[in-house]
Structure 1
Amino acid sequence: MPLLVEAGWGGLVQYPWSITWTDISRYVDTQKAGVSITRGASDELSETQPGTATLRLDNADGRFTPGNPASPYYPFVRRNAPIRVSVAIMPTRTGAAPYPMAMLGDDFDAERVNTTRWPTVYGSAVQVDGRARIQCNPGAFSGFLTAREWTLTGSKVTAKLAKVPAANGSSTGAASMWVQSTTAGTRIGWTYNPATGVLYAHSQTGFSDAGQVPLTYSAIDHAWLRVRESGGTVYWETSGDGFIWTVRRTLATPAWVPAQTHALEFTGTRTGGTGDYVEWDLLGAEVRPRFWGMVNQFPVDWEGLVSTVTVTCTDLFKRLNRLPALRSMLAQEILHQDVPGVGDIVSAYYPLTEPSGSAAAGDISGGGCGALAVTQVGSGGTLDFGSDGLPDTGDTSATFTPASATQGKYLTGDLGATFQANSAAYPQTIELWFKTTTAGRAILGLYEPNLDHQYVLALNGSGELVIEHTEAGGTLTVYNSARVLNDGQWHHIVHDGYTSKQLYIDGVAGPFTLSVVNTTALRTLHIGGYRGARLFNGQIAHVAINHVTGYIGSVISPDHYEAATTGYSGEPADERIQRLARYAGLSSVTVLGSTHDPVASQGPGGSSVVARMREVEATESARLYAERDYYGLAYQSRDVRYNPDPTSETFTIDYADLETRQVQLADDDQKLVNIVEAARPGGATQRVTAPSSILAFGEYEQSLNVLKTSDNSVLDAAYWLVSRYANPGPELREVPVEAYTMPNYLDILDADISSYFSVYNLPAQAPASTLRVTVEGYTETLKEQSHLIQFHTSASLNDTVWVLDDAVYSVLDSTTRLAY
């Protein structure tokens, strides 16, 4: 069981696809300290906690000392360095030859080559530092070659490409992994050419393959290579971690593959230049990720002259928990109008939420636009911040009260050279909110310094919204929406300046599509008037201007109307979780399950993204946690746990195989709930009770505040809680397993949050000979030839739901719980 610990020196966890991982496993203390990992929750009524990992590193040469310029990892030994922990389970050869190739394994950690496994080692090939090192020298071949006793049919061969050779002046070269037939030059495998930096998926006959598939080599994406045969097809696959695989080529299985036994060969050579080598590791390993996160710190300790660094690490919840409180949902949507492959595209954003008495309004887009100053025209009038804003946002707005159309105050500012350059290169989308009863006024204006290009959003004398613009030469064009908007209500305006040229008013496309509006190189922004005239009388909020650099397409934001007016109330819970994840900079969430009720608004700001996600999780009796194999979140709906199918248990285990000194059957009132008082925002407060439970055990009350959109849904949630915990039965809460010694080790490692398994052959004192449990979390300690996992579990019976006429799930007073 090699432990695989990798650090992403210089990488950022928020950009996991760009991290190049460095194997630091050889420095981890697996003899005494081991690696300790925690994950999940203690029980099904508790929230999942941030996952942690602790490991001690040998720092004899100072490589893990922060700020040490002699470290090979300098200057990236620093807090928040990405780290991941996996175990690599090596195969065991059993039975008689020919053997399936999946049984061929070698971690290359022994002091010398295993000559039984590699009877032929030729050229300058050696085994060193836990790897097979194959020289790629000019005019010579080196390699490791097995005996011909393996078969690929229905099997696979996997290896970690730990180091590729440099070009070193060669005209061509080859570092290869081949499944060899009995005919010279007929083979399947992978070849890397150091002269070109290209990785090839090969199926050669006579040393040639007209259908070879070339891949520009990536140390990130091609760290692991695999050849697999299944059902008459050969697959060439690559992986960045040895766990998640990508198919790069497929081919109908050549006739020689099922007809022959094979040898596996690692080989290297080159033409010209100077020598180098390729290194292979973990041949045949089955990788199972255990932790993905970041290092909190690198504390250097000494015992005499012996230096170690014991690092503690936390999964992505560390980053999520330190994010600042969210703004309103509307503001978050504006700030995160991301375009695939481009990212956030807001260029200037003035929410106008400054406190009363402020003399300027600031840009919060991060694009470097200047502040907008309160500017006096003539005399009189006021401009103040802090007025009531849009109802569902909790945000304030700016109020403009001029003495006349030409006497008062408005906002002006220089948006800067970067904004102007983007405006010259790309059209813009403009959006804002306003409220007024006065016609004939300008809401917003933009212009370039020489006034050749100008753009104005205004109300004409009839209160209709109009767009005015001038192109080079100063010709004025006016587009009239024919929509009267000076009705004293808040209105949302979006002008899509991209390919559609559409105008949206209150989330609905306007009565026309604008012709091309070529107002470029805009730089100066006026809000609440334009160039000293048509001073606005009313309120304005959330002015945003977007440029999508390098992107051609239509990017519009009419749905921001819903963000401000409803806070997306009624959207399914899984969509809300993904929306919140986007606010946190996560591109996606793995959604498991299919029951996703509508949730209420979380429109106003002030709470953290994790707090909002937890509100949704609690509302839905769901599970939210960090993935253990990459930088991402998983969200499980409650139906993931409904009626676990015995045929799909993750594993089963005999009671005798547990670490039985720590097994406990609990029957207490820790989870007992027989009275629930439940409420929702703006809804009724309702009470659900379980009279028989109250009579037997007394009152155990719990409050439930959920983001439901109807009172009936609140009642359903309350009944679900009471039906599960009015009289919880005895349960195994801790199941400790020395997994390394188990023949189903891989199955045990696959168990994660909400997985279930059965413990059978329980002692006679148990309420049943077999108990099925659901995994809520675990703690584990990995050492040399030891992997102790303490599963925190709950009774799977708590999640059974009624199925009509089912022999198991329609038992009166036992499994008649209605699904929620």
Structure 2
Amino acid sequence: MTISRGASDELSETQPGTATLTLDTQDGWLTPGNPNSGYFPFVRRNAPIRISQAVMPAHVGAAPWPLAQLGDDFDDEVIDPTLWPGTYGAPVETGGRIRIPCVSGTPAGVQSARSWTLDESHVAVKASTVPAASTSATATMSLRVTSTTAGTRLAWQYDAVAGQLRACSDVASVDAGATVLTYSAIDHAWWRIRETGSLVIWETSPDGWEWTVRRTLATPAWVTSQQQQVELAGTRTGSGSADYCEFDLLGAAVRPRFWGVVNEFPVEWDGLLSKVSVSATDLFKRLNKLPVLRSMLGMEVFTVDALTGIYSFLAAYFPLAEPAESTSAGSVAGSGIGALASTQVGVGGGLQFGDEGVPETAEPAVTFTPSSATAGRYLVGDMGPQMASDSTTWLPHIQVWIKTSTVSRAILGMHDTVLDHQLVLALNASGVLTVETTQDGTALTVATTSSGNLADGKWHHLVFDGAAKRVYVDGAAVGGPLVATSTQDVRTLYVGGYRSARLFSGQIAHLSVHLATGPCGAVYAASYGALTGYTGEPADSRVERLARYAGLDSVTIRGTTHDPVASQGPGGSGVMARLREVESTESGHLYAERDYYGLAYQSRDLRYNPSPADEVFTISYADLEPGLRLADDDQKLVNEAEGTRPGGATQQVSAPSSVLAFGPYEPSGGALNLLKTTDLKVADALYWLVSRYANPAPEIREVPIEAATMPFFLDILDADISSYFTIFDLPPQALASSARVTVEGYTETIKEQSHVIQFRTSASARDSVWILGDSVYGVLGTTTRLAY
């Protein structure tokens, strides 16, 4: 297996992470389209793939050993008699697992020697195969830590008949207070019992990396006073077919190395041999293939339901941004809602698509120009039976943008087929927003909000919350709950008037209907910030917003310095391009996580002034693989930088002494276009770049390590982008006896008993900033770079 992720250096963008795996597929299980494969039909392109390294512990020193040192990968087809001196019921090692029979009336299992202790330690195992319930009275598999008293033990126990997983602290083989979980083959794939801080903790994990606490208990006295025995067991009682349970990777420490999707499964043959060379790419592949974004306003409509915290969804979205020659408007929500047709009322008046729309969106709007309140054109459509059904089950919420100078007009309305249920949003004679409703076909009841005059020729964002019966205008609630009643079975939708009257004069844009189980209006109201493209929001919030646009639940933010960023309102570019704009503006680092389906974003201050406590490991030069090199060239040299911001000045920062010595060097991409909100922040960003690279010191850029041979293997595997480590005992020709480096990326090659990692690094000192009076970071003229 070969995995590559990160960047080539700190001035380069993080590239999509890749993995290649050459696997034996003589059984045909990895042949695409093979219906006899145990993986069918998931041997296909874009199948998710995760690679993890399981590091097995070794017990050192004299007994008793901490249980964290008990490890067995069960890979050699022979039960280790030293680790497992007690076996019963004919367990065997096969296929890289220990298989324990589950035969009625014949308990089976393996037992360790009583030479281990759980005190401030832990034991973990993967429950690979669980027994079937069949027709048995009981069928179980268990991980047990036993005391010297029979029946007194800590255990995880799976009960196949009940479909339950139990966290037990047995006394006399019984625990009335056991925590009982409904078993999940995914969530409960790994079991762990650990003791720390006078507590015993039972945990489960889907992958051996991320653990969930399921039970805690004050540590029984025997845990700290006795040596324990570990037992893996299977049982069956009553009738039922005999089968088995299987455990694997006992004591393994798991470290994720890659999360991505498969590009291809090319199968090759050489005689009777068959192999597949799988290639995969991380989350960046998907992000780079996403369609270009709509405006931020449009993307908020599509994705804001992810923020409501309750069940809510977009039922209809009419951007009303059709070309000028259009005569109807469609929904782009993908729910099958019918189009709205331009409909004539009386004689005269008009309706025009393609006019200038909401600022910052670069998307047009529809303009209504009636000759009177009863003569002109508006939009009418049948939203269909699905909307009628859904609006009876869930509560409707409406968003819409309007711009008008005319009072006493209807903005929009909807009703069912017999007019029993009606809802109208309108402006009264004072231009104040009103909500009109009926739920029994009687005259409309009018509720007046405290919106003030909205017929002022400006764009306004309106939200109607059908659950809270509350209205929001331009991000704020306008009055308390209204008398508006619920609407049901709504099918017919009017935009720009209502039932041939009160024809709207002005512009309407971005009409959306959301359905929800409860109030969501306050969440939708926050979309008013799209009017300015969310100018001024912190960079971390912008990254999270863009991640939401990409369909990601969250993004991990690391670091604390996040400047305000300018608008990215208009659409037309992809989500990765926009994320890169924020990354370069903030001198941050964006990359795909290696342990789950998500993004990570690091602010620049994460790298300020690393200390020994920040290092993930230290390593001697003698323990490195051949190939360490000190680089001193002009690869990173930058002594002149020009930059600007949206609507701001063009500025330049230079280092005259560097220009004199080396000639002018600009950033590789030329002038910088930064999403800063002030000219001062642009100047700060340019200074930060030039101050670090006007005369970069010699540095180590590649560090090769055979990690599998190191006693601190796990620490090496913990190193990720922006991690630090120190190389000590460098050769006498080096500038110093040690060097601290920052990880920018790495390529690792994993083989049997080998794990070579080629770290791509930079000099950590380059990110140091001034600390007044500090003996290291306050040396005048040496480490007095101002923080940015």
Task: Determine if the TM-score, normalized by the shorter chain, exceeds 0.5.
Answer: yes
Whether 2:669 is the aligned partner of 1:669: answer no
SS of the residue aligned with 1:569? coil
Kindly indicate whether the alpha-carbon contact (under 8 Å) linking 1:336 and 1:344 is maintained by their aligned counterparts in 2. no
Partner of residue 717, structure 1: 685
String of CA shifts for 1:487-546, please: whole Å, max 9, x gaps.
Answer: 2221221111112x2212222221443124222221110111222222222111011111
User: C-alpha deviations, 1:74-129, integer Å up to 9, x for none?
Assistant: 11211111111111111112211111111111100102111111112211321111
User: Does the 8 Å contact 2:28/2:34 carry over to 1?
Assistant: yes
Amino acid at match of 1:684: A
**CA–CA distance in structure 1, aligned partners of residues 311 and 3 of structure 2:** 34
Task: Give the AA of the match of 1:323.
Answer: L
CA distance in 1, matches of 2:398, 2:498: 16
| 1:328-727 paired onto structure 2 within 5 Å | 328-339=295-306, 345-481=313-449, 483-499=452-468, 501-548=469-516, 550-551=517-518, 556-564=523-531, 566-660=532-626, 662-702=627-667, 703-727=671-695
Q: Is residue 113 from structure 1 mapped to residue 79 from structure 2 by the alignment?
A: yes
3-state SS in 2 of match to 1:579: helix
| 1:764-818 alpha-carbon deviations (Å, 9 max, x no partner) | 2211111110000000100011111110000001100000111100112211011
Deviations 1:408-442 (A, max 9, x none): 22111111111111211222111211112223322
Give the stretch that moved more between structures: 645-654 or 474-483. 474-483
1:302 is aligned to 269
Rounded to whole Å, the distance in 1 between the matches of 2:309 and 2:654 is: 52
Secondary structure of residue in 2 paired with 1:52: strand
CA distance in 2 between counterparts of 1:770 and 1:567 reads 48
State the SS of the aligned residue for 2:683.
helix
Kindly state the Cα deviation for residue 217 of structure 1 after the two structures are TM-superposed: 1.0
Question: Secondary structure of 1:432's partner?
Answer: strand
CA distance in 2, matches of 1:457, 1:234: 60
CA contact (8 A) 1:119 1:147 kept: yes
Partner amino acid, structure 1, of 2:567: S
Which amino acid in structure 2 is aligned with residue 695 of structure 1? L
Deviation of the 1:463 alpha carbon: 3.2
Shift of 1:344: 5.5
Could you tell me which runs of 5 or more consecutive residues in structure 1 were left unpaired when the two chains were aligned: 1-34
Matched, 1:99 2:65: yes
Structure 1 distance, partners of 2:549, 2:564, is 20
For the 8 Å contact 1:673–1:722, the answer to whether it is kept is yes
TM-score (norm 2): 0.97
Classify 1:724/1:708 alpha carbon distance in 2 versus 1 (closer, same or farther; 3 Å). Answer: same
User: In the TM superposition, what is the alpha-carbon distance from 1:189 to its structure 2 partner?
Assistant: 1.4
Q: Which residue of 2 aligns with 1:734?
A: 702
Q: Does the Cα contact within 8 Å between 1:335 and 1:344 map onto a contact in 2?
A: no
Paired position in structure 2 for 1:144: 110
Matched, 1:314 2:281: yes
8 Å CA contact 1:441–1:459 kept in 2: the answer is yes
User: SS of the residue aligned with 1:513?
Assistant: coil
Take 2:372 and 2:389, find their aligned partners in 1: how far apart are those partners? 35
Q: Distance in 2 between matches of 1:507 and 1:173?
A: 58
Structure 2 counterpart of 1:227, from 185, 193, 204: 193
CA distance in 2, matches of 1:704, 1:75: 48
**Match in the other structure for 1:24:** none
Tell me the secondary structure at the aligned position of residue 295 of structure 1. Answer: strand
Letter of the aligned partner of 1:72 in structure 2? Answer: G
Q: Using the TM superposition, give the Cα deviation of residue 391 of structure 1 relative to its aligned residue in structure 2, in angstroms.
A: 1.2
Match among 41, 47, 55 for residue 13 of structure 2:
47
For 1:556 and 1:653, locate their aligned partners in 2 and report how far apart those are by CA, in whole Å: 51
Q: Which amino acid letter does the alignment assign opposite residue 720 of structure 1?
A: W
Instruction: Name the structure 1 match of 2:101.
Output: 135
1:282 maps to 2:249? yes
What is the identity, as a one-letter code, of the residue corresponding to 2:695? N
1:768 to 705, 721, 736: 736
The correspondence for 1:257, drawn from 218, 223, 236, is 223
SS in 1 for 2:167: strand
Cα gap change, 1:598/1:387 in structure 2, threshold over 3 Å: closer, same or farther? Answer: same
Indicate how the Cα distance of structure 1 residues 170 and 516 shifts in structure 2: closer, same or farther if over 3 A, else same.
Answer: farther
Deviations 1:23-76 (A, max 9, x none): xxxxxxxxxxxx000010000000111111000122212211111111111112
User: Matched residues in 2 for 1:688 and 1:154: separation?
Assistant: 56
Name the CA distance, whole Å, in 1 between partners of 2:312 and 2:705: 46
CA distance in 2, matches of 1:726, 1:503: 56
What is the CA RMSD across the aligned residues, in angstroms? 1.5
Encode CA deviations 1:305-333: one digit per residue, 9 max, x unaligned: 32221111011111111111111111111
Question: Is the 2:137–2:161 contact (alpha carbons within 8 Å) kept by the matching residues of 1?
Answer: yes
Instruction: Measure the CA separation in 1 of the matches of 2:405 and 2:86.
Output: 90
User: Does the CA contact (< 8 Å) of 1:224 and 1:240 recur in 2?
Assistant: yes
Inter-partner Cα distance in structure 2 for 1:111 and 1:174: 24
CA distance in 1, matches of 2:582, 2:294: 18
Q: How far apart, in 1, do the equivalents of 2:90 and 2:78 lie?
A: 14
Q: Distance in 2 between matches of 1:159 and 1:620?
A: 43
Amino acid at match of 2:167: A
CA-to-partner distance for each residue in 1:115-149, whole Å, 9 max, x for gaps?
Answer: 11111221132111111111111111001111111
C-alpha separation in 2, matches of 1:717 and 1:319: 30
Q: Number of paired residues?
A: 782
Kindly provide the CA deviation profile for residues 176-223 of structure 1, in whole angstroms up to 9, marking residues without a partner as x: 111111111011111111110111111111111122111111111111
Taking the aligned partners of 1:772 and 1:310, their CA distance within structure 2 comes to: 37
Partner SS state of residue 650, structure 1: strand
- The residue type paired with residue 103 of structure 2 is N
Equivalent-residue separation in structure 2 for 1:488 and 1:148 (angstroms) = 83
Deviations 1:588-610 (A, max 9, x none): 11111111111111111111111
Cα deviations across residues 359-403 of structure 1 (Å, max 9, x unaligned)? 211111122211111222234332221110011111110111223
- 2: CA distance between counterparts of 1:199 and 1:818? 56
Shift of 1:304: 2.7
Displacement of 1:556 in angstroms is: 4.2
The letter for the 2-side match of 1:275 is A
Give the equivalent residue in structure 2 for 1:11. none
In 2: Cα distance, 1:555 partner to 1:687 partner: 44
CA distance in 2, matches of 1:639, 1:556: 31
Structure 2 unaligned regions, length at least 5: none
* Distance in 2 separating the partners of 1:113 and 1:235: 29
Matched, 1:757 2:730: no
Given that residues 223 and 239 in structure 1 are in contact (C-alpha distance below 8 angstroms), is that contact kept between their aligned partners in structure 2?
A: yes
* 1:453-496 superposed Cα distances (whole Å, 9 cap, x missing partner): 11112223443332222221423211223632222221221111
Question: Is 1:184 paired with 2:184?
Answer: no
**Alpha-carbon distance, 1:342 to partner:** 5.1
Give the residue type in structure 1 aligned to 2:385. Answer: A
